[in-house]
């Protein structure tokens, strides 16, 4: 016979499952406290690797440093596969949230389009950039060197090996 405490725990677990618990996230690096940086509010997710934020009372576009997510459709080209999923994941994780923006030492502050180049840390301490790579909805962008490149490449390798996101078997 089970104890009342065990029955209560079992009821809690079953209730959680029956009431629509979300599936466990794909394994990625354990969240850590967000490093010091600039506080910003994510007002819009433009695509999987570009956000619009309010920073210091002004609107800025932020390009997520170290990743390349599938591109949206333009007049010149069709949308890349998994663009909608990458954008949806970034939107679910970041839109409407207060985030912390950090720079990469030795990296440019802005890209050729005037967007801030930043790591974006979510309120729970996860790095949005890395999360998109670990979930399989962005690649590690290795055209330019960045401090966390080895970590991002390892995460992409894991997503590929586990068949997550765009790396899922078709």
* Residues classed as catalytic: 63, 71, 115
What is the rounded CA–CA span in Å between residue 133 and residue 28?
9
63 contacts 116 by C-beta, under 8 angstroms: yes
133 contacts 152 by C-beta, under 8 angstroms: yes
Name the one residue in this structure whose structure tokens are 């979300």.
22
Q: Give the contacts of 126 (CB within 8 A, at least 6 positions apart).
A: 28, 29, 31, 93
Helices and strands: H and E segment counts in the chain: 4, 7
Dig out the tokens for 41 from the structure: 């509010």
Give which of 72, 89, 79, 80 is closest to 137, Cα–Cα. Answer: 89
């Amino acid at each position: 016979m089970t104890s009342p405490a065990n029955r209560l725990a079992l009821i809690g677990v079953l209730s959680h499952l029956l009431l629509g618990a979300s599936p466990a996230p794909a394994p990625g690096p354990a969240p850590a406290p967000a490093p010091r940086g600039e506080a910003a509010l994510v007002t819009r997710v433009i695509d999987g690797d570009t956000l619009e934020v309010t920073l210091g009372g002004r609107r800025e576009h932020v390009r997520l440093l170290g990743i390349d997510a599938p591109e949206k459709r333009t007049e010149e080209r069709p949308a890349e596969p998994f663009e909608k999923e990458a954008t949806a994941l970034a939107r679910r994780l970041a839109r409407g949230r207060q985030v912390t923006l950090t720079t990469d030492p030795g990296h440019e502050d802005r890209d050729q389009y005037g967007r801030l180049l930043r790591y974006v840390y979510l309120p729970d301490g996860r790095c949005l950039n890395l999360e998109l790579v670990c979930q399989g909805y962005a690649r590690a962008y290795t055209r330019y060197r960045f401090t966390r490149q080895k970590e991002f490449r390892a995460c992409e390798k894991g997503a590929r090996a586990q068949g997550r996101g765009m790396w899922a078997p078709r």
